[in-house]
């Protein structure tokens, strides 16, 4: 499709004039009014409504100066109305807005064109003042998987795959945000300023309202476990349901046929969703924490340097540097010569009150160490401490080795496993985690049931453990 064809031949022309910032603000307000969270869908977009949005943007002093000039302090209402009408004409002429006749009462109205809606949404999404306090796509992927398990609707699984693909991009956007803050901080430091307002805005608005929630209370790690459980239920569907879901998926998304290469489309989508969620939590989330730490550490370092050097404009050093900038080269040299003669006889010392280390008395006597006694009692204590440390340290391989003999006769549940010793209780507690490990996934399949495991030591959800068929293991290996 050719984009720059009438009426979009000069689509971006309204954004190339001196008042382009005002035009972008108007487009952002229009998108929020028509398609935003607070949009009133019962209200059609009329000419008067668009003019009202433009005049509201002109209420900002900085944007009004772009339209009428900074020297013009007072603007008549007729001039604002004329300017709004002219901007509306340009938006219609270049394809941002288009005429639309209401099918109910046949009134002539306006609407954002398809391209206008897409690009105005981009302007709205670039607004950093709106906090995103939830892991939206992680939650959406989890809910779509739950809906697919409940209804077997292929569209829900495709939606879960789409939401999961956006999870990594969400975290990457946050990483780029902190890199932008670091670059801005560096530019401010080169100009001998400390970006305190920007840092304060980040701490009070972005971190407290958004990142603190997303990294702690609503962390992606919480949703990863629930998504993995839902994916295990998807993989546990029997052959008939899987074949029916595969047929619907290929009908809804023909592009899957080239991607799966003979595999089950449902299992391929489940593996892709799991890999994308694991990449987001295992790779991008640590990168986000690292970039946030880099920004705070860089700002702290620059702030400490600024406070110690005191290079502000009102300090003696700042006044001296400002004086040097205004004087000719001969006076520069004269002042520097005077300073050099005064500093030639100076002796530089470190004042003892600001030393960060403590002076050790080398003449202090080193206390004598007690002799090492090795006897039967000390060896027994060492063995007891080692046994206590290793008593409940089980690896996934050890837990699987203890589970496989019980699976030789077929599927079992956690409630049916023996809990005669403390080792048996720990094995039951770690069974699901071991099964979902990289090695356990090839051998055993875990599915959550509606029952509960009740023992004298703990109570938890019950799971069914089923040996992985040999053909399924070979299919995964392929």
Domain assignments of the chain as residue spans, ordered by start: 13-127, 138-312, 393-467
- pLDDT above 90 coverage of the chain, percent: 5
* Beta bridge partner(s), residue 85: none
Q: Is the pLDDT of residue 324 over 60?
A: yes
Q: Is the pLDDT of residue 144 over 60?
A: yes
Question: What one-character DSSP code corresponds to residue 452?
Answer: E
CB burial readout 63-93, b (16+ within 10 A) else e:
bbebbbeeeeeeeeeeebeebbeebbeebbe
Who wins on pLDDT, 413 or 367?
413
- Segment among 29-38, 333-342, 356-365 with least mean pLDDT: 356-365
* Beta bridge partner(s), residue 45: 110
Instruction: Pick left, alpha or beta for residue 220 (phi over 0 → left; psi -120 to 50 → alpha; otherwise beta).
Output: alpha
Confidence of residue 87 (pLDDT cuts 50, 70, 90): very high
pLDDT tens digits for range 101-141: 766 666 778 888 889 888 988 888 776 555 454 567 788 88
Q: Is the pLDDT of residue 347 over 70?
A: no
Q: Is the pLDDT of residue 312 over 60?
A: no
Per-residue pLDDT, averaged over 163-178, amounts to 79
Confidence of residue 86 (pLDDT cuts 50, 70, 90): very high
Q: Does a cis peptide bond (omega within 30 degrees of 0) precede residue 180?
A: no
Confidence of residue 209 (pLDDT cuts 50, 70, 90): low
Confidence of residue 327 (pLDDT cuts 50, 70, 90): confident
Which of 177, 409, 395 has the alpha carbon at shortest distance from 294?
A: 177
pLDDT at 475: 47
Task: Please tell me whether residue 99 adopts helix, strand or coil conformation.
Answer: strand
Tokens representing residue 209 in the block: 């309202």
Q: Is the pLDDT of residue 155 over 80?
A: yes
pLDDT tens digits for range 234-293: 888 888 888 898 898 888 888 888 888 788 889 899 888 888 888 887 887 788 778 878
Q: Is the pLDDT of residue 355 over 60?
A: no
* Beta bridge partner(s), residue 445: 466
Question: What one-character DSSP code corresponds to residue 45?
Answer: B
Tokens representing residue 320 in the block: 């001296």
Largest CA distance in the chain: 102
> Is the alpha carbon torsion for 143, 149, 150, 151 positive or negative?
positive
What is the rounded CA–CA span in Å between residue 222 and residue 139?
10
Task: Please tell me whether residue 423 adopts helix, strand or coil conformation.
Answer: helix
pLDDT at 190: 53
Per-residue pLDDT, averaged over 463-472, amounts to 74
Statement: 13-127 belongs to CATH 1.10.10.10? yes
Which of 166, 137, 148, 138 has the alpha carbon at shortest distance from 249?
A: 148
Given a contact cutoff of 8 angstroms between Cβ atoms, the answer to whether 230 and 164 are in contact is no
Q: What's the burial of 260, exposed, middle or buried (CB within 10 Å: 0-12/13-18/19+)? A: middle
What is the rounded CA–CA span in Å between residue 177 and residue 200?
16
DSSP string, 11-42: TTGGGSSTTHHHHHHHHHHHHHHHHSTT--TT
pLDDT at 210: 55
What is the rounded CA–CA span in Å between residue 96 and residue 7?
9
């Amino acid at each position: 499709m050719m984009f720059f064809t009438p009426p979009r031949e000069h689509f971006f022309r309204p954004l190339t004039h001196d008042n382009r910032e005002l035009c972008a603000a108007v487009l952002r307000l229009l998108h929020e009014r028509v398609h935003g969270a607070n949009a009133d869908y019962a209200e059609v977009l009329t000419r008067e409504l668009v003019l009202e949005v433009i005049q509201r943007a002109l209420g900002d002093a900085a944007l009004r100066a772009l339209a009428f000039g900074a020297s013009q302090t007072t603007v008549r209402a007729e001039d604002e109305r004329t300017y709004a009408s002219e901007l509306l004409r340009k938006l219609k002429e270049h394809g941002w807005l288009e005429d639309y006749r209401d099918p109910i009462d046949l009134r002539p109205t306006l609407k954002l064109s398809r391209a206008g809606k897409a690009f105005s949404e981009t302007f709205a999404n670039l607004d950093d003042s709106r906090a995103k306090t939830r892991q939206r796509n992680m939650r959406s992927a989890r809910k779509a998987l739950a809906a697919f398990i409940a209804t077997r609707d292929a569209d829900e699984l495709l939606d879960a795959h789409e939401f999961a693909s956006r999870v990594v991009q969400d975290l990457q956007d946050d990483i780029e945000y902190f890199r932008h803050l670091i670059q801005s901080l560096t530019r401010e430091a080169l100009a001998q300023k400390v970006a305190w307002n920007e840092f304060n805005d980040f701490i009070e608005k972005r971190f407290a309202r958004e990142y603190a929630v997303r990294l702690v209370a609503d962390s992606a790690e919480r949703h990863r476990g629930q998504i993995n459980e839902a994916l295990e239920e998807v993989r546990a569907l029997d052959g008939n349901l899987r074949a029916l879901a595969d047929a619907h998926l290929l009908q809804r998304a023909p592009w899957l046929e080239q991607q799966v290469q003979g595999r089950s489309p449902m299992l391929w989508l489940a593996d892709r969703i799991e890999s994308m969620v694991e990449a987001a939590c295992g790779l991008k989330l640590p990168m986000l924490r690292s970039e946030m730490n880099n920004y705070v550490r860089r700002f702290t370092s620059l702030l400490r340097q600024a406070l110690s050097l005191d290079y502000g404009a009102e300090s003696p050093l700042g006044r001296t540097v400002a004086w040097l900038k205004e004087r000719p080269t001969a006076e520069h040299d004269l002042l520097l010569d005077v300073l050099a003669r005064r500093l030639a006889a100076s002796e530089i010392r470190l004042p003892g009150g600001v030393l960060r280390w403590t002076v050790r008395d080398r003449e202090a006597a080193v206390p004598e160490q007690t002799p090492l006694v090795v006897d039967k009692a000390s060896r027994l204590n060492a063995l007891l401490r080692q046994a206590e440390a290793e008593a409940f340290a089980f690896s996934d391989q050890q837990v699987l080795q203890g589970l496989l003999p019980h699976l030789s006769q077929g599927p079992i549940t956690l409630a049916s496993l023996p809990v005669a010793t403390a080792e048996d209780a720990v094995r039951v507690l770690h069974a699901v985690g071991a099964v979902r490990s990289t090695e356990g996934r090839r051998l055993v399949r875990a599915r959550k049931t509606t029952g509960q495991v009740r023992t004298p030591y703990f109570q938890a959800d019950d799971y069914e453990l089923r040996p992985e068929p040999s053909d399924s293991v070979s299919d995964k290996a392929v």
